[in-house]
Amino acid sequence: MDSGADSLQLRCGDCQETQLCGPANIDAHLRRAGMLRSEQTPEIEILHELLRAAAGAIVCSSCGSTGLLVEQPAEDDDEAWGGSRKCEGCRKPIPAERVAALPQVRYCAECQSASERGESLDDVEYCPRCGAVMEVRQTRGAGITRYVMACTECGR
């Protein structure tokens, strides 16, 4: 399967930040927007059309503005322009050594091993304020340990 044909690029009109979205990221954006139910798994063409319809409500993870533009991804290699390829699972940069060893790699080592263990990469939660990946943090009070979801970027 050609990952380029399955991916779309989201671009912020204000800060010009771009994000390459593979099927897992598109699915996550649409679920947060309430456009997919948990039992639905539509074809990629339908996911693309739904993302285009929901783009006006998606929040930029860099500047926080609402409304992104949906584009076809550039054919250029990210590394040729001095950038690094981002993981389709967590959106963190994939190390250059990994890309050199595996030119068609789509996931960082952490997401790839999670995928191989059978864990779903779609279970990632994103901050409703800034769109960054959220993580589970411990809170303690009165002898009780609780776990809460917290944003890695804005701290919400």
Indicate if 129 and 65 belong to the same structural domain: no
Indicate if 66 and 30 belong to the same structural domain: yes
Indicate if 36 and 54 belong to the same structural domain: yes
| Span 62-78, pLDDT tens digits | 788 888 888 877 654 44
| Per-residue pLDDT at 139 | 81
Read off φ and ψ for residue 10, nearest 5 degrees: -100, 135
| Per-residue pLDDT at 21 | 81
Indicate if 1 and 71 belong to the same structural domain: yes
Indicate if 107 and 150 belong to the same structural domain: no
Please count the residues of the chain: 156
Structural domain boundaries, residue 88: 83-121
Indicate if 3 and 51 belong to the same structural domain: yes
Indicate if 89 and 101 belong to the same structural domain: yes
| Span 108-150, pLDDT tens digits | 888 888 888 877 665 667 777 777 777 888 887 777 888 888 8
pTM for the model stands at: 0.46
Q: Where are the alpha helices (DSSP H) in 2-151?
A: 3-6, 23-32, 44-54, 96-101, 109-116
Indicate if 14 and 43 belong to the same structural domain: yes
Indicate if 17 and 55 belong to the same structural domain: yes
Read off φ and ψ for residue 18, nearest 5 degrees: -115, 150
